[in-house]
Structure 1
Amino acid sequence: MLPIVTDLVTIVRAAKAVGYGNNTTLDWGPAAARTTVEACVQPAGAGESTNGGADRVSTRIQVFLHPGTDVTATDRIEWDDQLWRIDGTPAVWPDPTGGSEHHIEVTATRVTGG
């Protein structure tokens, strides 16, 4: 169980569409499945770069979820009216007192600008 649940996040799982040449594409629009869950969202850093005068800002968050939450590396997180891309495989942390899972951690990134 999470010690501090301060937020609600929506896990977005893209709908798969088969396009030209039988290529599978991911659709993050209205056809995507959405599940809202309790979470604790914390800042995890930011970075900025400029390329030819265009400012690009990358912001990261750390999302702590209840054990057993169905989330994968290909999902996205909706939080604070923004869509965040999950970075890597969600980490399942063991319960230090024994048993199975204590919580799941996800790092997510949102990039704005050029």
Structure 2
Amino acid sequence: MLPLVTDLVTIVRALAVTGYGNAVTYDWAEHASRVTVEACVQPNGSGETTGGRDTVITHIRVFLHPGTDVTATDRIEWNGRTYEVDGEPQRWPDPTGGGEHHVELTATYTTGG
């Protein structure tokens, strides 16, 4: 059971395209798949770099239902912004035994720079 399911997020998965020299690139536009799922989204800090070009980085923590299909290369659309998933989403075991309790990930939104 998730803490409080108060949000809907869209998981965006790009089509991996093999190009010149077997380099893999991602098609985020036309061929990206989008799936909207229930979630609990919480703030997870932010930072700022100042100088010639100011950059603001905002982090969120996202809790998803067990079995949600999300990977490290996906993006999360929420609240009018597109966040990059940070690392591999964590699949937490059910403490009462048998299966997965929930999926948890952090994601980053960067502006400026």
Q: Into which bin does the TM-score normalised by the smaller protein fall?
A: over 0.9
Structure 1 residue 24 corresponds to structure 2 residue 24: yes
Partner of 1:59: 58
Query: 1:43-73 CA distances to partner (integer Å, 9 max, x unpaired)?
Result: 0000000132x11000000000000000011
Q: CA deviation at 1:94?
A: 1.2
For 1:51 and 1:17, how far apart are their aligned partners in 2? Answer: 36
Letter in 2 for 1:39: A
Partner of 1:98: 97
Structure 2 gap ranges (5+) = none
Partner of 1:72: 71
Q: CA deviation at 1:31?
A: 1.0
Structure 1 residue 110 corresponds to structure 2 residue 112: no
For 2:68 and 2:101, how far apart are their aligned partners in 1? Answer: 11
For 1:51 and 1:27, how far apart are their aligned partners in 2? Answer: 32
For 1:22 and 1:94, how far apart are their aligned partners in 2? Answer: 37
Query: 1:16-54 CA distances to partner (integer Å, 9 max, x unpaired)?
Result: 2233334221011131011110000000000000132x1
Structure 1 residue 42 corresponds to structure 2 residue 53: no
Structure 1 gap ranges (5+) = none
For 1:81 and 1:26, how far apart are their aligned partners in 2? Answer: 21
For 1:107 and 1:22, how far apart are their aligned partners in 2? Answer: 30
Identical aligned residues as a percent: 67
For 1:82 and 1:30, how far apart are their aligned partners in 2? Answer: 18
SS at match of 2:21: helix
